[in-house]
């Protein structure tokens, strides 16, 4: 429903994302299956907005979500965590496979150029991946993936790091 959807990108909004995470964490705990999440954050997004305007920034977010959705499995979901930060929920997926999935997204983003005023721009993101631990809740899971994403930014951006 629209209440769970981000109006701009069509990804889940924060509410929809929270519901999905709670459901998938409970399911993984119940069945003992692997669950990984990726936190991705567009690199230099403020600069993009300042240089090309907010409409272009909005279009960049739409572009990112469209590409992510084209590569995700039907069971995977993407939700907007806030601003230019998104969470990708990957059921039945271990951390190393989650990292490969995010790196595949990065390669696809470099292939599909984003056009701003007839200028081809490269949109990149930094990502962090975390796999659910026994007894862990979704807040802790997201926090670990988020921390790995920040390390990816500090390490030079446009890369995906594994949570510790």
Active site residue 136: no
Contact (CB, 8 A) for 81 and 39: yes
Count the neighbouring beta carbons within 10 Å of the beta carbon of residue 54: 10
Count the neighbouring beta carbons within 10 Å of the beta carbon of residue 111: 8
Which strands form 35-42's sheet, in the order they lie side by side?
A: 77-82, 85-91, 35-42, 125-131, 160-162
Instruction: Out of 84, 103, 119, 136, pick the active-site residue.
Output: 84
Tell me the C-alpha distance between 18 and 24, whole Å. Answer: 10
Q: Which residues are catalytic?
A: 84
């Amino acid at each position: 429903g629209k209440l769970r959807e981000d109006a701009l990108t069509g990804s889940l909004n924060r509410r929809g994302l929270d519901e999905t995470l709670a459901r998938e964490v409970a399911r993984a705990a119940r069945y003992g299956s692997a669950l990984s999440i990726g936190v991705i954050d567009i690199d230099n997004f403020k600069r993009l907005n300042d240089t090309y305007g907010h409409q272009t920034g909005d279009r960049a977010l739409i572009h990112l979500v469209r590409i992510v959705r084209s590569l995700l499995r039907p069971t995977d979901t993407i939700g907007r965590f806030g601003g230019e930060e998104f969470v990708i929920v990957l059921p039945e997926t271990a951390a190393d496979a989650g990292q490969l999935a995010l790196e595949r997204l990065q390669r696809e983003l470099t292939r599909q150029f984003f056009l701003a005023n007839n200028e081809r721009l490269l949109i990149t993101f930094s990502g962090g991946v975390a796999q659910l631990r026994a007894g862990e809740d979704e807040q802790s899971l997201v926090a670990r993936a988020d921390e790995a994403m920040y390390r990816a930014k500090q390490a030079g951006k446009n890369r995906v790091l594994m949570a510790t």
